[in-house]
Amino acid sequence: MAVGAEAIFGNSVITTKLDSAISWARESSMWPYVFGTACCAIEFMSVASSQYDISRFGAEVVRFSPRQADLMIVAGTISYKQAPVLKRIYDQMTEPKWVISAGACACSGGFYDNYTTVQGIDSIIPVDVYIAGCPPRPEAFLDALIKIQELQAKKESIIKDRVVKNFKGKLDDSKKL
């Protein structure tokens, strides 16, 4: 016996736009790659565990291979030493891909305004959504995820290229500091 949608719709046909169908599928199954380096990554552990449970939003399949992920969550401080690694991993992710910059450090260097810390990862890779906080509460991570889902639903189209072509980070052209 059919249950759920099948029971209601039976043999009927639903028409929709291809874009909407694809966005709908994508948005409910983001595969995050967590670039966790510091304290913020510990908060991400909370996001992934039972109480906040990121799987309610379809993003619990945390991948540790950038090739299998479409959402990068940068949680933690990015030092100059780490920056080439971040860029390389970002480059390894296949399109379409999105980036969340979580926490004060990733967004702006946070209170590490010193010789070690990149003052905002958007000088290295393009960022879609920023989260404030040091560290952000787990709800803020979920909020950012919802924002990404909204972006997908509203802005994306398969005929539009998602690659950010005009982005130029500090490491793209190392002569320019």
Partner 1 sequence: MTVKNFKTLFENRYFIEDSGAFIVEKSNILDALHVIKNRDNYTLLLDMTAVDYLKKDSSKARFAVIYILRHSDFSQILMLKVYLDATLTLPSVTSLFKSANWAEREIWDQYGIQFQNHPNLKRILNHKEFIGHPLCKDYPITQGQLCTKTDDLMDEMTPLLKSKGYENFEDLMFLNLGPAHPASHGTIRNFVALEGETIVSTVSEIGYLHRGFEKSCENHTYNQIIPYTDRLNYCSAILNNIAFAHTVEGMLGVEIPQRAQYIRVIIGELSRAIDHLVCLAAMLVDMGALTNYWYLYNPRESVYTLLSKLTGARLTNSYMRIGGVSRDFYEGFEEDLRYSLKDIQKGVGDTLKLIAHNRIFHDRTQNVGIIKKDEALNRGITGPNLRACGIAYDLRVAKPYYGYDTFDFNIPIGSTGDVYDRMMVRFEEIEQSIYIIKQAMKRIPKGDIMLNNHSIALPSKQSVYTSIEGVMNQFKLIYEGVKVPSKEYYDAIEGANGELGFFIVSDGSGTPYKVKVRPPCFYAMSALPSMIEGGMIADAVLSLGSLNIIAGELDR
**In the complex, which residues of this chain contact ligand SF4 (CB under 6 A)?**
38-40, 76-77, 103-105, 110, 134-135
Residue 104 contact, options ligand SF4, partner 1, none, Cβ 5-8 Å cut-off depending on partner type: ligand SF4
- Residue 32 β-bridge partners: 71
Tokens describing residue 15: 């028409």
Query: Parallel, antiparallel, or unpaired for β 129-131 and 71-75?
Result: unpaired
Total interface residues for partner 1 by CB under 8 A = 41
Residue 116 contact, options partner 1, ligand SF4, none, Cβ 5-8 Å cut-off depending on partner type: partner 1
Shortest CA distance to 52 belongs to which of 151, 128, 143, 148? 143
Q: Does 114 bind partner 1 (CB under 8 A)?
A: yes
Residue 103 contact, options ligand SF4, partner 1, none, Cβ 5-8 Å cut-off depending on partner type: ligand SF4
x-marked contacts with partner 1 along 69-108 as a string, rule CB under 8 A: -------xx-xxxxxxxx--x-------------------
Shortest CA distance to 151 belongs to which of 23, 5, 22, 10? 23
Task: Please say whether the beta carbons of 91 and 126 come within 8 A.
Answer: no
Omega before residue 135 within 30° of 0, cis = yes
Residue 167 contact, options partner 1, ligand SF4, none, Cβ 5-8 Å cut-off depending on partner type: none
Query: Parallel, antiparallel, or unpaired for β 129-131 and 98-102?
Result: parallel
| Footprint of partner 1 (CB under 8 A) | 35-39, 41-43, 45-46, 49-51, 64, 76-77, 79-86, 89, 111-119, 134-135, 137, 170-171, 174, 177
